[in-house]
């Protein structure tokens, strides 16, 4: 069981986005608990939603009349500001967009996003259900959320937990159609059940007029955002306290909609843009897999990286030899005008983890969990495989301290990183970053 944490999340429904907090399952006094920021009145549980992270932060600083007030880390949350309470992309759930996702091809992004949305819906229903078990004569399975329970019980929905591999080939196509069919039948009932328990007034601190239409603010200009609100657009670990985030690419200035549109092409050719952030700078390159072995745009174990997607695109149209030329779809890459914009899943900030480890080692223990390793280590393993970085393999082996921490994160993502562990891991990670940096060649 993970140690207690509190995670900011965003829920979009009826073209409104509300911000709230979720406490993932934790154990206390031998019992398992899970909760959302809300209250129960007249036997009806409500989740408080706020129009901005700043409004959420203001409520947290002043209110103690809610279900998270006794949470072990609530005293930490009270001191957080809008930046710290801005959800990362993994904790933004668009309940309006479920049909659109199901209508897409079942790539890993669509499957993961749909699975995450169904999961948070199930967790909400579990926490908000005050009716089950109230009467000894009632059936133990009775619930206030019948549609949610029916949805979760469908084998088609269960297949989402198997990942994208469950939707490969003809049988996979049929399975994906089955997922869409279940959603067509049940999703409207699901959101209707949930919406009865959503408090869009922020416990009386807001009105519906305070919520801008989600469709109108999807691509927000940072200059239009108040000073106390910081936009976050990355795969920052889900923690209950501030963790440094990576900026949106050294030379990348693209909206999420533009990235998603470009991603359709890159997914189709099986070669994906990747961003890597090291102390020397941020750069973009390309990566594919040949028989499950990572291959990058480069040559002789060196990875070519470029300051901007535009510079990368110009290189791809040239005639210089490299290790991706022999890939069957390379001709399409060389001919396309679709910009190579990395998706959030393919952006690896190696310096960010170094800074996090330094902060924890200096006293921020208990505020960062082990899943902080997941994203950067994924990129490092691929780079080490391509460049033949045996020292990196040694440092990430299960018998090494760093490898043990990574394995812990895979088994128990919310296990909190201790200061003494971070002090040991930081120099090892810095050595990993140095090794990887040596394999990158920044091109003009």
pLDDT tens across 25-38, in order? 877 777 788 899 99
In a domain, 227, yes or no: no
pLDDT at 132: 53
pLDDT at 216: 63
pLDDT over 70 (residue 236) = no
Residues 321 and 183 in one domain: no
Residues 201 and 239 in one domain: no
Confidence of residue 43 (pLDDT cuts 50, 70, 90): confident
Give 257-295 pLDDT, tens digit per residue: 788 889 999 999 999 999 999 999 999 999 999 988 999
**Domain of residue 194, residue span:** 7-210
In a domain, 253, yes or no: yes
Confidence of residue 124 (pLDDT cuts 50, 70, 90): very high
pLDDT over 60 (residue 333) = yes
In a domain, 439, yes or no: yes
Residues 189 and 239 in one domain: no
Confidence of residue 123 (pLDDT cuts 50, 70, 90): very high
The domain boundary, picked from 176, 210, 244, lies at 210
In a domain, 277, yes or no: yes
In a domain, 285, yes or no: yes
The domain boundary, picked from 210, 243, 258, lies at 210
In a domain, 222, yes or no: no
Residues 183 and 332 in one domain: no
Please tell me the least confidently modeled range out of 25-34, 216-225, 233-242. Answer: 233-242
Confidence of residue 230 (pLDDT cuts 50, 70, 90): very low
In a domain, 317, yes or no: yes
Most confident of 1-5, 65-69, 237-241, 408-412: 65-69
The dihedral formed by the CA atoms of 217, 276, 166 and 293, expressed in degrees to the nearest 10 = 160
The pTM of the full predicted model, rounded to 2 decimals, is 0.53
Percent with pLDDT over 90 in the chain: 55
Residues 67 and 127 in one domain: yes
Residues 149 and 282 in one domain: no
Residues 267 and 205 in one domain: no
Percent with pLDDT over 70 in the chain: 86
pLDDT at 318: 94
Residues 287 and 359 in one domain: yes
The domain boundary, picked from 194, 210, 226, lies at 210
Residues 37 and 176 in one domain: yes
In a domain, 223, yes or no: no
Residues 126 and 32 in one domain: yes
Residues 60 and 105 in one domain: yes
* Number of independent structural domains in the chain: 2
Residues 297 and 359 in one domain: yes
């Amino acid at each position: 069981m993970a140690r207690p944490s509190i995670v900011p999340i965003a829920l979009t429904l009826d073209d409104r986005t509300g911000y709230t907090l979720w406490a993932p399952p934790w154990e206390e006094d031998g019992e398992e608990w899970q909760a959302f920021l809300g209250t129960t009145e007249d036997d009806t549980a409500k989740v408080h939603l706020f129009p901005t992270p700043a409004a959420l932060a203001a409520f947290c600083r002043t209110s103690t009349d809610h279900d998270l007030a006794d949470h072990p880390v609530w005293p930490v949350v009270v001191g957080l500001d809008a930046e710290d309470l801005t959800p990362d992309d993994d904790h933004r759930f668009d309940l309006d967009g479920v049909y659109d996702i199901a209508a897409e091809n079942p790539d890993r992004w669509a499957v993961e996003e749909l699975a995450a949305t169904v999961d948070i819906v199930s967790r909400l229903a579990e926490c908000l259900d005050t009716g089950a078990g109230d009467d000894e004569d009632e059936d133990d399975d009775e619930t206030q959320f019948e549609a949610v329970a029916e949805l979760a019980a469908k084998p088609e929905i269960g297949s989402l937990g198997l990942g994208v591999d469950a939707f490969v080939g003809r049988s996979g196509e049929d399975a994906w159609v089955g997922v869409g069919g279940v959603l067509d039948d049940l999703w409207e009932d699901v959101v209707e059940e949930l919406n009865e328990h959503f408090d869009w007034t922020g416990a009386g601190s807001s009105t519906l007029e305070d919520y801008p239409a989600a469709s109108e603010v999807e691509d927000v200009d940072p200059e239009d955002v108040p000073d106390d609100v910081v936009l976050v657009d990355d795969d920052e670990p889900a923690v209950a306290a501030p963790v440094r985030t990576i900026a949106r690419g050294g030379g990348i200035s693209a909206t999420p909609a533009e990235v998603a549109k470009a991603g359709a092409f890159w997914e189709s050719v099986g070669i994906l843009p990747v961003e890597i952030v090291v102390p020397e700078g941020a750069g973009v390159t390309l990566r594919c897999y040949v028989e499950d072995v990572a291959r990058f745009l480069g040559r002789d174990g060196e990875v070519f990286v470029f300051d901007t997607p535009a510079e990368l695109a110009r290189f791809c149209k040239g005639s210089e030899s490299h290790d991706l030329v022999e890939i069957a779809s390379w001709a399409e890459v060389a001919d396309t005008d679709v910009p190579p914009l990395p998706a959030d899943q393919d952006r690896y900030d190696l310096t960010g983890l170094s800074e996090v480890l330094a902060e924890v080692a200096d006293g921020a223990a208990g505020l960062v969990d082990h899943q902080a390793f997941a994203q950067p280590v994924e990129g490092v393993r691929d780079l080490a495989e391509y460049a033949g970085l045996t020292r990196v393999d040694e440092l990430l082996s299960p018998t090494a301290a760093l490898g043990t921490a990574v394995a812990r994160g895979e088994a128990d993502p919310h296990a909190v990183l201790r200061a003494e562990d971070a002090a040991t891991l930081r120099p090892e990670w810095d050595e990993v970053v140095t090794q990887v940096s040596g394999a990158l060649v920044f091109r003009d």
